[in-house]
Amino acid sequence: MSIRLFSVPGYGHLYRSMLRFRNMSAHEARGLVYMLNTANLDSFIYTHPGAYIKEAGPATFSRMAERGNYRPYRTEVQLYKALAALKHNIIPAALISEQKEALARLRCLMRDIDFSFYKTFEMDIDDIRTVYADCAFGLIPREDEPAVCLVRDWIYLPSA
C-alpha cells in the first residue's frame, strides 16, 4: 500500500474548512487536524521504515496552519473528498490511541457530511450527479474545482 504524505498547506485548507462547514471551535479543529497530520506521518513511516520525517510540534504546526493564506474549500463536497483522501492515507495499525480517536472522529465527520448532503439533495455525496469526481483526491484544492455541489449547477454557471 502506498501512503501519501500531505503538506502543511493542505492541512491549512482542512483547518479553515472545519471552521467554515462543521462549526468547530478553533481549538477543536486545530487539535483534530494536528492529530490527523501525525496519523498520516506515522502511517507513512509504518510503510517506509527507513524514512526520516521531521515533524512539527503542535504549536508550530498550528501556527503554520492558521497563519498561512489558506482558503477553506468552496463546498462540502470538496471537504468530504479531502477527508476521504486523508482517511485513505492513514493505516490504523500504525496509530496510537489519540490518533485512533482522531480517525474515528474523521469517520464520524464524513458520515455527518454525507447524511446532511443526502437530506439536502436526496443523493449520496459521491453520486455521479455531484461534482465529487471533479474534486481533487487530496487536501489542496485545484483552482478549477467547482464552486457548487451538483454537476447540473456547474454546467449552467455563467462564465465570468
User: Where is pLDDT greater, at 142 or 69?
Assistant: 142
Kindly indicate the confidence band of residue 159, based on its pLDDT and cuts at 50, 70 and 90.
low
Q: Return the C-alpha torsion angle 135, 76, 88, 109, nearest 10.
A: 180
CA distances from 28 to 12, 19, 32 (A): 14, 9, 6
pLDDT at 68: 84
48, 99 Cβ separation under 8 angstroms: no
Confidence bin at 62 (pLDDT 50/70/90): confident
Where are the domains positioned within the chain? 8-155
Give the tens place of pLDDT for each residue, 84-141. Answer: 999 999 999 999 999 999 999 999 999 999 999 999 999 999 999 999 999 999 999 9
Would the pLDDT of 13 be above 50?
Answer: yes
C-alpha cell at 97: 490511541
Q: Of 37-46, 70-79, 145-154, which gets the smallest average pLDDT?
A: 145-154
The answer on pLDDT for 160 being more than 90 is no
Looking at residues 17-37, what average pLDDT do you find? 95
Lookup: cell for 76:
462540502
What's the whole-number mean pLDDT along residues 31-50?
96
Matching residue, cell 465527520: 109
Task: At 124, list the grid cell.
Answer: 449520496
pLDDT at 94: 96
